[in-house]
Chain A
Amino acid sequence: MIHSLFLINHSGDIFLEKHWKSVIGRSVCDYFFEAKEKAVQPENVPPVLQTPHHYLISVYRDKLFFLSVVQTEVPPLFVIEFLHRVADTVQDYFGECSEGVIKDNVVTVYELLEEMLDNGFPLATESNVLKEMIRPPTILRSVVNTLTGGSNVGDTLPTGQLSSIPWRRAGVKYTNNEAYFDVIEEIDAILDKSGTTVFAEIQGVIEACVRLTGMPDLTLSFMNPRLLDDMSFHPCVRFKRWESERILSFIPPDGNFTLMTYHVSSQNVVALPVYVKQNISFLETGSCGRLDITIGPKQTMGKTVEGLTVTVHMPKTVLSANLTATQGNYTYNLATKVLVWDIGKLNPQKLPNLRGSLSLQAGAPRPEENPALDITLKIQQLAISGLKVSRLDMYGEKYKPFKGVKYLTKAGKFQVRT
């Protein structure tokens, strides 16, 4: 299965290596560097590479490459999923997944990797089990450790691994018992030049933050579960009850976790919260172009659209942009040729507009294609699909927990072609 792991930073330095079987020399990464060189953009590096004796499977996360070396047949997704799980665990432990953080906590990361795989086969990937064995650092503990020379290795034996519900440890205690759920929906859409929808769909995810004492058994039900077309669940959710009653019944992990992801039935027409009027043109002569973008509210269900930004990947020949925005600021990055217009709140009375001219490299031919616009936005307290949680019940424990549900709509991959 997974033989070795190398962590490689953006500029191509290997800053951590771990071998689960015999040691493989770093030179194996040269094949990867070659491919990286060829790909120019880090996203374009093929995730699976074949070398004479090994296979290299890598993922690119948070500006880091997680490169694993494999010697024999193994499902590539198995490895990719695991590598992402490593990145998730680092994120979970230290709050972010970056070269600096990993270097600062190199021993802890190494121990984590040791526990996650045994002989290349995943052993403990549940963060709950890992946290029992290797405690995540907290400010208090790091101070204590500095003073006493202690470490983060758990001194109790991890019992979670033995349980039939490995995602929850026994003996959880809180003084404030609370269970919060965030229903977050993302709109994926492609609009064409004239503003008509080529493709739109809604993807949702329910993130949970559950801090409850003991072994609570929760059920979460929806007002309109029929909306949900396709979903994936955290292992704690009981399939059978969902299938028969459309109720999420589960013993939750302790802390933050993703309860489910879903896809809203494609029969429903997706209500797009904004419309975009744009006109980007490059003149045949004179090496300059015009840009004019206006955004207005469409179906916002009476809520305000916030965090609105427009990102444009300009053609390589665009040298600079001379624009004026009626609201918000714009920046044009000369190196990456990315124009970002940060609008903020959308005011329906006074629609934000960005217009002005673009100057092109002299003598270069007119760009063939107009650049596409990527839109991001946020709407608080609204699930655009109309999904509503009807109730949350707890069984198995006596106390009354605080409960809460928040809704949020975001733009996912929202693209306007021009």
Chain B
Amino acid sequence: MSASSAFNDEKGGSSSVGEPEYGHDPASGGIFSSDYKRHDDLKEMLDSNKDSLKLEAMKRIVAMIARGKNASDLFPAVVKNVACKNIEVKKLVYVYLVRYAEEQQDLALLSISTFQRGLKDPNQLIRASALRVLSSIRVTIIVPIMMLAIKEAASDMSPYVRKTAAHAIPKLYSLDPEQKDQLIEVIEKLLADKTTLVAGSVVMAFEEVCPERIDLIHKNYRKLCNLLIDVEEWGQVVIINMLTRYARTQFLNPNINDDDDEDDKEKKAEAATLAKRKPYVMDPDHRLLLRNTKPLLQSRNAAVVMAVAQLYFHLAPKAEIGVIAKALVRLLRSHSEVQYVVLQNVATMTIKRRGMFEPYLKSFYIRSTDPTQIKVLKLEVLTNLANETNISTILREFQTYIKSMDKDFVAATIQAIGRCATNIGEVRDTCLNGLVQLLSNRDELVVAESVVVIKKLLQMQPEKHSDIIKHMAKLTDNIQVPMARASILWLIGEYCEHVPKIAPDVLRKMAKSFTNEEDIVKLQIINLSAKLYLTNSKQTKLLTQYVLNLAKYDQNYDIRDRARFIRQLIVPTEKSGALSKYAKKLFLALKPAPVLESPFKDRDHFQLGSLSHLLNAKAGGYQELPDWPEAAPDPSVRNVEVKESVRAVGTVTYRDTGALWGLPGPQTMEGSEGCSQLDSASGSESGSGSEESGSGSESDESEEGSESEQESEEDKEEDKKKKKKELKKPVRESERLIILHLLLCRQTITPCSASKSYELLHRITGEGLSVEYCFSRQPFSPDGNMVAVQVQFNNSAASETKNLHMEDVKLQCGMRVKEFPEIGEWWGEAATAVMGIDFCDSTQAANFQLCTHTKKFFVSIQPPVGELMRPVFLTENEFKKEQGQLMGMNEITERLTLDAKCRNEHTIVQRVTTAANLSRVPCGSDKECRFAGRTVTSGSLVLVSVVTKEEGAAQLTVNCEKMVIGTMLVKDILLALTQ
């Protein structure tokens, strides 16, 4: 029964969809008569208790809204259904509410309680959608409710709800700007969020509410840089634009030493002297931003590519900007609207940095099917790119363009030729000749444009081109376009000395046709006559008189005015004052040649890619791109307390990860979730942090280090240097220990002491006290189940540090720590201490406070998995036997391709033993290397074998009872062997 009635309604509905074409345009009227009736039946349907009827009614109402028809009188009937059980009806009611709540504020309040209930729902998606609708209802009276809801949602467990909270912030701000301070607090809180889902939305809120509060970004800067690649596309655009502005306030200009702007040579000299005093070193954070944005040039989203391109243009050292050219040229294949915007920006870029687009010259060639605005922009780019080497090709291209049917485009081409000729001296004559040929073109517009351009060109060196002037003088008979005629007349007047015979004749002809000319031509005739009178009064006196007389009675008062003025100046009478003596100087002064400039010059003071840049006018809400600071502000503001920084990098989940595919199951694909099983308590971040870098390094330097390993060569070198520096000291300090250690544990052939040191406390955070630690790989004598950690203190502060000790150790259950004895006072620079930690065979961090007599610092030590074991000696047979027992789930095999530098046995052994504290097991075959160890706490065996094959292919097998350890160890060794 209900089905059949619904069917009838559906039919009625669909027929009504077809008919109301008149409703498209509200101005056409006729709505009221028919709509009243229909609204009545809609109300009836909404009041019924059948969901199908309600749904049908809502669909028709939404269709009305979509067509722009007024459905506001249905508000009471619709709002009743806000608590409807049917999710489909509910959704449509929300759509309606958001559209009309503003107009019917009182009635809208009826729905609020439903949303408030929704905010408490156990399902995160329902919480989010309730907040979304609640915040979209633009009713001022509920501002306090919204504020409360946003605050609550900002600390919701679900990142999706937090994202919705971030979206709600600008909505509330636009409703009531007075809430700004409170909203900033929420923004500050959400900025600290570590999930990719929230990052884009909260930065968008930041940009709309408080873009001036750049200080809120400091602590989150590195995290944002690291998260960037995994944020959704739209968020990426917003974040990149914001970070561009941020970087301009915090870092130094990387091009300060070699800015080659011709127009500010003085500045250059100044900068050079400055540079001598202080060589430029890029802030590592500045580098981090450039490095992390670069891969996004390969995004499919044009807006992201453009955002990165503008970031590089505004922030990168000159030598590195080139990379963006290729990506921008790629965008020229996209939709014509995209081309239009990209070309505008390329045009601006080519003025400052011509070199980077030169290899792509041909990509800017014009097709006859391009829209006119694209053609003109491409022409602009081609003109900017022209130089001595490519000008002949470009001119050949221009020649084909001149024949185009699109006359506006031809005119633009002629101007472009003019600009090429002024910029490049060598081709000036060629261009002039070409333009002169155009003077015989049949199209008057073309001729006129050529005349105007030739005029500008001739002004540069008139003496050489009297024949062209003569040629143009002849044209006055044919050309009718006023601007062109005026230009010719001006030219003859200006250079009448070069064409003494022709000039008076032209004036004669012009005098004859004076009355029929356009105003601008008339003015030029007067000018010409005046100039001739001054140079050749014998021949032209009468003519001038005649012209001036004609002008005296002209209809246009400008012309009458000019005639009177000129007569007074040039014709000497007794009344004429001192001025007429200088008439010649007034009229025939040397005039500077005009500069033909690109309209895109200096547009780059607007941030590229912005609407303001495109319009060349400041749009509302545009944030100025600040100039580089003279001196860099304190970089330490970006340092984050250790715990916090654990670890944005860790959340780099998907696109950054390398060889994840070897791990079974779909879960591992989700990065942080995948390994959160390792530590449920401390959240997924720290777990994946350890996985990512395999170290526990929290400091910025080593963060830089571990990342740049995967980066380009130059970074590697930089990194190596840094590491060397880091290494030197601990090695010297621990030399004695190592020798001792070797003596003590002879039987466990420790091939390599992992003297790689990690930072525990950065010098800046520690206010002068810097602390590093390394895993010395010696047995910790007080307790055999503990890993020995050697800690080294360095005090570079002016004040002395006393009473160094540990406090407030926070551990996961089962873990134990043997603290190092308090260091009372020390002299000299460095001090070392050894502590023991029982990590319980997990890579969870040991957190504690490091206290001096005055301060406390939160620090944490996190072991790479390779340090959780100690070497054992096995014979070949023992190894095989043990391996046989650790099959199946306990065995993990990976194929890999060895790094080119790591194809001999020696380096393989070295790299494996550096990555993990294992000892070599003798083996008959030279194709196989075997290693063995036991985990420190539980003593489980860890067996590793690497079998090498042809051409660097290899197979890595790890057998370990503890699967988690095994999995992580495989990863670390893979990394060590492939890089």
Contact = CB atoms under 8 A, between A and B. Distances in A.
Nearest to A249: B661
Main secondary structure of the interface of A (DSSP, over half): mixed
B367 A190 contact: yes
A77 B405 contact: no
A165 B669 contact: yes
A22 B105 CA distance: 14
A76 B619 CA distance: 12
A372 interface: yes
Contact of B132 (A47, A118, A164, A219): A118
B614 A72 contact: no
Contact of A119 (B7, B171, B302, B656): B171
B512 to A, nearest CB: 29
A36 interface: no
Query: A-B pairs with the 10 shortest C-beta distances?
Result: A215-B666, A149-B52, A72-B621, A149-B6, A369-B403, A47-B337, A73-B622, A122-B234, A77-B303, A153-B88
Given A75-B610, A153-B88, A219-B661, 20 more contacts: A1-B204, A21-B174, A48-B614, A72-B619, A75-B611, A77-B303, A106-B66, A111-B91, A118-B132, A119-B136, A119-B171, A153-B87, A163-B670, A215-B669, A232-B298, A239-B229, A240-B657, A367-B405, A396-B669, A417-B400
A251 interface: yes
Interface stretch (A12-20, A297-305, A325-333, A342-350): A12-20
Interface string B287-327: 00000000100111111011100000000000000000011
Interface in A250-282: 251, 258, 261, 263, 266
Interface string B381-411: 0000000000000000100100111000000
Nearest to A81: B303
A293 B170 CA distance: 62
Interface string B165-177: 0010011001000
Given A73-B620, A198-B365, A219-B661, A47 B340 contact: yes
B368 A415 contact: yes
B364 to A, nearest CB: 10
B622 A123 contact: no
Contacts of B669: 165, 215, 217, 251, 396
B232 interface: yes
Contacts of B620: 71-73
Most B C-beta atoms less than 10 A away, residue of A146, A151, A315, A415: A151
B94 to A, nearest CB: 8
Contacts of B158: 162
Contacts of B641: none
Given A44-B372, A73-B611, A148-B52, A234 B204 contact: no
A177 to B, nearest CB: 15
Interface string B622-665: 11000000000000000000000000000001111111111011
B664 A396 contact: yes
B698 to A, nearest CB: 22
Given A44-B373, A153-B87, A240-B655, A164 B615 contact: no
A92 interface: no
Interface in A23-54: 23, 26, 41, 43-44, 46-48, 50
A238 interface: yes
A56 B363 CA distance: 29
A125 B620 CA distance: 27
Given A17-B68, A77-B341, A125-B234, A230 B327 contact: yes
Given A59-B335, A72-B619, A76-B614, A149 B656 contact: no
18 contacts: A17-B68, A22-B138, A41-B371, A55-B615, A73-B612, A75-B241, A76-B609, A81-B303, A114-B98, A121-B234, A122-B232, A151-B59, A158-B125, A199-B362, A217-B660, A217-B669, A230-B327, A234-B300
B654 A80 contact: no
B700 interface: no
Contacts of A161: 125, 160
B611 A76 contact: yes
A14 B27 CA distance: 12
Contacts of A17: 66-68
A18 B66 contact: yes
A38 B335 CA distance: 21
Indicate the size class of the contact surface on chain A: 35 or more
Most A C-beta atoms less than 10 A away, residue of B337, B400, B672: B337
Nearest to B197: A162
A241 interface: yes
B371 A110 contact: no
B440 interface: no
B125 A157 contact: yes
A18 B98 CA distance: 11
Most B C-beta atoms less than 10 A away, residue of A14, A76, A159, A417: A76
A55 B610 CA distance: 13
Interface in A115-149: 118-119, 121-123, 125, 146-149
B442 A365 contact: yes
A352 interface: no
Interface in A70-116: 70-78, 80-82, 84, 106-107, 109-111, 114
A313 B305 CA distance: 34
Contact of A80 (B6, B333, B338, B653): B338
Nearest to B673: A164
Nearest to A46: B373
A150 B136 CA distance: 27
B621 A233 contact: no
A77 B302 contact: yes
A157 B123 contact: yes
Interface string B56-70: 100100110111100
A85 to B, nearest CB: 9
A395 interface: yes
A214 B664 CA distance: 13
Contact of A229 (B138, B295, B307, B326): B326
B232 A166 contact: yes
Contact of A110 (B66, B136, B301): B66
B367 A263 contact: no
B345 to A, nearest CB: 9
Nearest to A166: B232
Interface in A327-369: 365, 367-369
A153 B91 contact: yes
Interface in B91-145: 91-92, 95, 98-99, 102, 123-126, 132, 135-136, 138
Interface string B1-36: 001001101100000010000001110000000000
Contacts of A316: 405
A230 B342 CA distance: 17
Nearest to A152: B88
Contact of B298 (A153, A233, A368, A370): A233
A359 B607 CA distance: 53
Contact of A214 (B305, B342, B666): B666
B369 A241 contact: no
A377 B746 CA distance: 76
Given A119-B136, A234-B300, A239 B373 contact: no
A23 B72 CA distance: 13
Nearest to A21: B174
A55 B619 contact: yes
B300 A106 contact: no
Nearest to B196: A164
A16 B614 contact: no
B93 to A, nearest CB: 12
A84 B335 contact: yes
A314 B355 CA distance: 38
Contacts of A159: 125
B330 interface: yes
A1 B159 CA distance: 23
Contact of B56 (A77, A149, A374): A149
A147 B52 CA distance: 10
B6 A148 contact: yes
A395 B662 contact: yes
A369 B132 CA distance: 59
